[in-house]
Amino acid sequence: MDPRLDAEALAGVIGTDFQARTRRLLHQLSGTGRMLATAESCTGGLLASLFTDIPGASHVLDRGLVVYSLRAKQDLLGVPEEMLETHGAVSKPVAVAMAEALVRQDGPDIGVSITGYADTGPEPGLVHMAVAHAGGDTVHRVRRFGTVGRGAVRLRTLSAALDLLEETL
């Protein structure tokens, strides 16, 4: 299959702006030797997918985890059950814990986490994101997209996650 067809199909779904921004981030990171990891809930791996659609992503993307369930957040990232019970899966403490867990693993220097309610839950469209840098700060952002629909929340979340990465690199 012609790789251009894959790129064209993806661009038709998510838009070329996402691809251009991701390409710039990949290029920026590739010169530093730093590796990126993602832990995604409501976006279901779409952020990691943006990177893997670009040749050379393996020099930048270490891993991408989909941690949709509470159990996955606990098992794969070590998010404490008490934190999930106290704050809920869609919260600042959980987003920060997810991002920081990524950079504690062997490999990633930068961890990006996304957790949110795409279209159901106490506050549809609520998304928490965090970027953690190994040996550095963790930056958190919250977005409230409202009841715009599952697909729109996911795409807006991708844009916001790219914004956060651009701001913190």
What is the C-alpha to C-alpha distance for residues 142 and 155, in angstroms, rounded to an integer?
15
Q: Is the pLDDT of residue 2 over 80?
A: no
Q: Which domain holds residue 157?
A: 3-168
CATH number for the domain including 44?
A: 3.90.950.20
What is the C-alpha to C-alpha distance for residues 94 and 6, in angstroms, rounded to an integer?
34
Q: At 31, is the pLDDT very low, low, confident or very high (cuts 50, 70, 90)?
A: confident
pLDDT at residue 12, rounded to an integer:
53
Contact 90, 117 (CB under 8 A): yes
Residue 112 CB: number of other CB atoms within 10 A?
Answer: 26
- Residues pairing with 152 in the sheet: none
Q: Is the dihedral of CA 29, 33, 39, 45 positive or negative?
A: positive
Predicted model pTM: 0.90
Q: How many domains does the chain have?
A: 1
Question: pLDDT tens for residues 149-169?
Answer: 999 999 999 999 999 999 998
Please give the biggest Cα pair distance in the chain: 49
Tell me which of 11-15, 47-51, 72-76 is least confident.
Answer: 11-15
Q: What is the mean pLDDT of residues 41-63?
A: 95
Contact 22, 16 (CB under 8 A): no
